[in-house]
Structure 1
Amino acid sequence: MTAPRLKDPRLKAEREGRRGERAAAWYLWLTGWRVLDRRVKTQRGEIDLIARKGRTLCFVEVKWRRTSKGLDTAIDAYRLRRVADAAVALAARYAKAGDDVRIDVLLMTPGRWPRRIVNAWQPDA
């Protein structure tokens, strides 16, 4: 028996996005990070992955596209602001005293290593 085909493009995009998040979690693990949580929702937005490596706590936004061409415009200031707002709301739950806290973006496409934007969000001074 085969799985039913997804007719709604949003459902297909959701499924592919989840696949990208799983791949991103594997990538983080392979590079020494421990994934603490996935798909954490707040009233302000959602965090795809929360990871820790030593004293660094990282809120990770994952962007998955079918081709690398679409990755250049996958993240914008509006989306990044929503991630930052969610990270602020969640930091007290996950951060320990003395932690460095940052927001990274992982840009993912099939057949290529992820492109990582480290410390992608800098709050306005």
Structure 2
Amino acid sequence: MNRRLPRPAPVRRPKAAWRQAKGGAAFKAGHAAEWIAALWLMLRGYRVLGFRLKSRAGEIDLLVCRGHVLAVVEVKRRATMEAAMLALKPDQHDRLIAAGEAIRRNRPGLQRLDLRIDMVALAPWRVPRHLRGVERR
């Protein structure tokens, strides 16, 4: 009686619990930062059109408009306000422009608006900073 034993299932290593907790906490903090930024912009007269919009070019944290301006808003939350204001890199700026153009191209009501890249910088115990028309560095 030479029976063949079944092969054991491959061992899948679970992510370390601390790493999962860290990732979940960062995800929640990012969502909270985006809500704070949206409220801040609404207080200043902007209308929020969308949260976390995805396109082939990338993801837009917030899409807002006021008057004839359509603003693609990147939200950056860091330990200091200075670090948050410097967190937008040139390649990310290019992706935001491409994503904003893609969203605007697919929505006829937005095509007449001027596209602009904005940023909201957040830091603990500091008033949010809204930077309008962020240029590529």
Q: State the TM bucket, normalised to the shorter chain.
A: 0.7 to 0.9
Structure 2 unmatched ranges of 5 or more: 1-16
Q: Counterpart of 2:55 in structure 1: which amino acid? A: T
| 1:101 partnered with 2:101 | no
User: Quick one: structure 1 residues 72 and 27, their matched pair in 2 at CA, closer, same or farther if it must change by over 3 Å?
Assistant: closer
Deviation at 1:20, TM superposition (A): 0.4
Deviation at 1:116, TM superposition (A): 2.2
**Structure showing greater Rg:** 2
What SS is found at the alignment partner of 1:36?
strand
Q: Show the counterpart of 1:63.
A: 76
Q: Counterpart of 1:25 in structure 2: which amino acid? A: A
Q: After TM superposition, where is structure 1 displaced by more than 4 Å over at least 4 residues in a row?
A: none
Q: Show the counterpart of 1:114.
A: 128
In the alignment, the residues of structure 1 paired with residue 55 and residue 45 of structure 2 have an alpha-carbon distance, to the nearest angstrom, of 27
Q: Do 1:106 and 1:116's aligned partners in 2 also have CA atoms closer than 8 Å?
A: yes
Scaled by the length of structure 2, what TM-score is found? 0.75
Q: Counterpart of 1:119 in structure 2: which amino acid? A: G
Scaled by the length of structure 1, what TM-score is found? 0.82
Q: Counterpart of 2:110 in structure 1: which amino acid? A: A
Q: Show the counterpart of 2:36.
A: 23
Aligned-residue CA RMSD (Å): 1.9
**Correspondence 1:30-49 to 2 at 5 A:** 30-49=43-62
Deviation at 1:15, TM superposition (A): 1.1
Structure 1 unmatched ranges of 5 or more: 1-5
Kindly tell me the number of residue pairs found equivalent between the two proteins: 116
